[in-house]
Structure 1
Amino acid sequence: MNRAGEAGVWRLQLLFGWLSFVLAVPSIYLLLGLPLVMREHGWSGTDIGLFQLAGLPAVFKFLLALPVQRYRFQRGHYRHWAMVLCLLLAVLLVLVSQQAITADRLYLFGLAFAASVLATWADIPVNALAIKLLPQSQRVRAGGIRSAALFLGAIVGAGVMLLVQSRWGWQAPFLLMAGGLLLALLPLARLRERDAPDATPAPANPVFADWSGYFRQPGARLWTWVLLSSFPFVGAAWLYLKPLLLDQGMPVQQVALIAGVGGGVVGAVASLLGGRVIQRIGPGRATPLFMVGALGALLALTAAVGLQAGMAWLVVAAFLLASAMGAVSTLVFALMMFFSREHRQAVDYGLQASLFVLTRMLVPVAAGVLLDRSGYLGMLAGLSLAMALVCGVALLARRSIAVTATAPYRAADDQPQRPGI
């Protein structure tokens, strides 16, 4: 690839990284940042808990992907879908900014739910476009950039935006988030998306044929087990890390600094470094290696709690856990791209994303029950045991993952399109 081609690919990577970031921040702010503001204004715990239902659309990406795949624009199919949905989300965020935290709570929930639907929906054509435009050799790097963008989005959405709100008021965060989305529209409009006719005839039952076709890919079933199980156990441990540190006597501000800002930065760096490792050794070898690394992080945290090793060791274990999350996220996002078929990028990505979110939401519930019955040590031991089983699944799947990651996707993969941005 010549220098002009490399520059074009880097511009694409930065654009898709920025889009991942600006689509993640609103959801994170609404679900993780805004509850603090709600509590300050007298919302009950039940009200705040019910408000979390606004995050449910993420489970139904597989349904939201269907119209994106089916209803095609004449030119620039995924690009136009992404632009329309990002623009609608920006308009909705401006609309939310014109309300107030004292507005009718059901109305606010409706706006937040609509914003969550649009952010979830827009993520589908954005990632389908990335899969379509980026050469196969760039998918691992794209996974690392996406993972890093989400970690940074967590820092901004659950931290920085709260500071913005406390200093400049209710409107400021929503207007900033809308502005970030609008910044992406111009480079999106300038993209040149090559439209190739779908060579596969429409099946008699298109919805189920699309989903069953995904599972008929070589290695897809084993990969799906890895997809379902690779992240939720380390993710559940991370979710309960803040309460753990608080219960161990760490001040609230230090917990926020270490588990919030510090963990986010470590996760972002690990995401980018994890991508380099995957490119060097290949996804097939990286899959069991990263799962073993996640198991090691869980065992380190379990040992620190069980041995009452002190706060310094807990902090080290926390950063190990953040590193494992970053590396595993990079691997998962990259492999989701490899297992998305040509002409089926949206529906395959949407299905995989729904499966990923489903277990990420369910496992913390089970972990919470385990925490109540056996304490932090029992919960972490249970998560470690489950992660050990995941390592076994990853070993079984490594060969089929390696074959899929090296199989040709389309004839033009190694000749990337000139992105025109």
Structure 2
Amino acid sequence: MTKPRLFGLQLLFGWMNLVLAVPSIYLMFGMPLVMRQHGWSGTEIGLFQLAALPAIFKFLFAVPVQRVRLGRGHFVHWLLLLSALLLALYWLIGRHNLIGDRVMLFALTFAISIAATWADIPLNALAVQWLPRSEQLRAGSIRSAALFLGAIVGGGAMIVVQSRLGWQAPFWLMGGGLLIGALPFLLLRAQAALPEQTASGDAPAPGVMADWAGFFNQPGARQWTLLLLTSFPFIGAVWLYLKPLMLDMGMPLEHVAFIVGIVGGMTGALFSLLGGRLAPILGTARAIALYLLAALCALALLTLTVWAELGPTWLIASAICVAASMGAVSALMFGLTMFFTRRQRNASDYGLQTTVFTVARLAVPIAAGVLLDRLGYTGMLLVLTLGVLLSFVLAWRVRGKVERSAQSILDGERV
């Protein structure tokens, strides 16, 4: 495959990951500001976050995508079908201002969460299918960067658009972005020069449990799953609590929003791209260890800054370090997720891994909130830093096995 075509595919997959991330971020992380302005209680805003629950069940959504074939090129057809459903939901939620209709707003947000979560499965199954293994670490870094940019767009820019242009405008923009990304898949599907792998359709279909067992029976898959469970959630939880931490330490709201929301998001996106670029040069084993060591140092610096009350300059520097290390770690995690996704089981393996990742990513912040109430910021940060230390020790022990498995997958494709 030529370099221009690879670049175009990477750009297309990155764009689609961005436009699928923005609606959930906007509705569940940006919208609470508007809700509060319109009299929603804290309990109502908290319960509204339950609309994110479909992400936990991605492994179940992957089953029909893997098994129900919608003709030749069924992953493309699944993606287009779910994109059409998402467009219809944008039209429904954008017809009238629903900020005062709590039940309807929650129901449509929940439906959008299902459609966007579901569409992510055929999209990234296609990335595994169409991109060479040598390009998949880069694809993971682009996806990570897209999620950081999605946080900026969904959590900030769309709120500004709504306040200036009205309730409908963000949904029109999100729908337009989705159309721009989805339509090229029709052209790609029609090109014989970019055939879809047919191994998944030719192979006999085992049971769902056999599919999942087959994933864990891959060489290195168990070690990789342990890394997937531990590498990101602790630093991700720190990022979640950075805004309230900085507010409670006396930093103005506007400064916090700019530092964490804009500068931090851009830093995370930049280091996602750099992390994906450096990983093949460093080697998987070395990259795993170095990126987690960077995360450990960033959290240790932040913990020391809060404990010693070193002031706003050190706090800002620590936050930027957390963003940078989080970007590099997430890029590596997304890239290796693609490596451990078997081409014959693209959707089911991807859905299983992202469910494991999501459960850990949601569980650790809940535990961190309990720690915050009991131990304060210093105690919470110390425990989360120890969690990253545990992940680093684990990564040090299994990094060789994971690298050998990833290399054997890459060598197998070359053969």
- The reply to whether TM is greater than 0.5 is yes
TM-superposed deviation, 1:100: 1.2
2:254 aligns with 253
- The one of 200, 204, 207 equivalent to 1:201 is 204
Name the CA distance, whole Å, in 2 between partners of 1:293 and 1:398: 16
For residue 344 of structure 2, give the secondary structure of its aligned residue in structure 1. coil
Please state how far the C-alpha of 1:73 moved relative to its aligned partner: 2.1
Task: Write the distance in 2 (CA, Å) between the matches of 1:282 and 1:311.
Answer: 37
Structure-to-structure mapping, 1:18-57, within 5 angstroms: 18-57=15-54
* Residue equivalent to 1:181: 178
- Measure how far apart 1:102 and its partner are: 4.1
Aligned residue in 1 for 2:56: 59
| CA apart distance, 1:401 | 1.4
Aligned-pair distance for 1:406? 1.3
CA RMSD of aligned residues (A): 1.4
Equivalents in 1 of 2:148, 2:89: separation in Å?
24
Aligned to 2:228: 227
User: 2:121–2:347: 8 Å Cα contact kept in structure 1?
Assistant: yes
The answer (yes or no) to whether the contact 1:342–1:410 under 8 Å persists in 2 is no
Per-residue CA deviation, residues 320-357 of structure 1 (Å, 9 max, x unaligned), is: 00001100110000000000012101000000000101
- 8 Å CA contact 1:75–1:195 kept in 2: the answer is no
Consecutive unaligned residues in structure 1, runs of 5 or more: 416-421
Summarize deviations over 1:394-417 as a string: whole Å, max 9, x none: 012211211122124697x559xx
Q: Distance in 2 between matches of 1:57 and 1:186?
A: 26
Conserved 8 A contact 1:147-1:268: yes
Is the deviation greater in 274-283 or in 327-336?
A: 274-283
Secondary structure of the residue that 2:343 maps to in structure 1? coil
- Is the CA contact (8 Å cut-off) linking 1:25 and 1:156 kept in structure 2? yes
* 2:192 alignment counterpart: none
Greater displacement, 90-99 / 374-383: 90-99
Which residue identity does 2:402 align to in structure 1? Answer: I
Size of the aligned set, in residue pairs, is 409
User: Partner of 1:292 in structure 2?
Assistant: 293
* More helix by percentage: 2
Q: Which amino acid aligns with 2:222?
A: R
Which TM-score applies when normalising by structure 2? 0.96
1:201 aligned counterpart, secondary structure: coil
| 1:165-217 Cα shifts (integer Å, max 9, x gaps) | 000011000111011101112211111342414354223xx110011111001
Residues 237-276 of structure 1 aligned to structure 2 (within 5 Å): 237-276=238-277
Match of 1:106 in 2: 103
Q: Distance in 2 between matches of 1:122 and 1:329?
A: 20
**Residue number in structure 2 paired with 1:378:** 379
Residue 162 (structure 1) aligns with: 159
Distance 1:369 1:153 in 2: 28
CA 1:311 to 1:107, structure 2 compared with 1: closer, same or farther past 3 Å? same
1:117-136 matched pairs, under 5 angstroms = 117-136=114-133
Q: Is this contact kept in 1: 2:35–2:99, CA < 8 A? A: no
Q: How does 1:318-357 map to 2 (within 5 A)?
A: 318-357=319-358
SS in 2 for 1:407: helix
Letter in 1 for 2:403: A
SS of corresponding position for 1:100: coil
- Aligned match of 2:66 in 69, 73, 76? 69
Q: For residues 132 and 200 of structure 1, what CA distance do their matches in structure 2 show?
A: 15
Aligned AA (2:277):
R
Unmatched runs of 5 consecutive residues or more in structure 2: 190-194
Percent identical residues: 56
Alpha carbons 1:135, 1:414 under 8 Å: kept: no
Give yes or no for contact 2:339–2:409 (8 Å, CA) kept in 1. no
Structure 1 CA distance for aligned equivalents of residues 324 and 99 of structure 2: 39
For 2:197 and 2:111, the matched residues in 1 are separated by: 30
C-alpha change, 1:83 and 1:97, in structure 2 (3 Å) is same
Matches within 5 A, 1:403-414: 403-408=404-409, 413=413
Quote the residue 2:305 is aligned against: 304
CA distance in 1, matches of 2:242, 2:264: 11
Does structure 2 retain, via aligned residues, the 8 Å contact 1:229–1:359?
yes
Q: Does 1:389 align with 2:386?
A: no
**2:347 alignment partner AA:** A
Residues 96 and 111, structure 1, Cα contact 8 Å, conserved in 2: yes
Relative to 1, partners in 2 of residues 1:270 and 1:197: Cα closer, same or farther, differing over 3 Å? Answer: closer
- Conserved 8 A contact 1:136-1:409: yes
> Deviation digits for residues 62-91 of structure 1, max 9, x if unmatched?
000000000012211211111111121012
Alpha-carbon distance between aligned partners in 2 of 1:110 and 1:87, rounded to the nearest angstrom = 18
1:104 CA drift (Å): 2.6
SS of structure 2 residue aligned to 1:268: helix
Which secondary structure does the structure 1 equivalent of 2:342 belong to?
A: coil
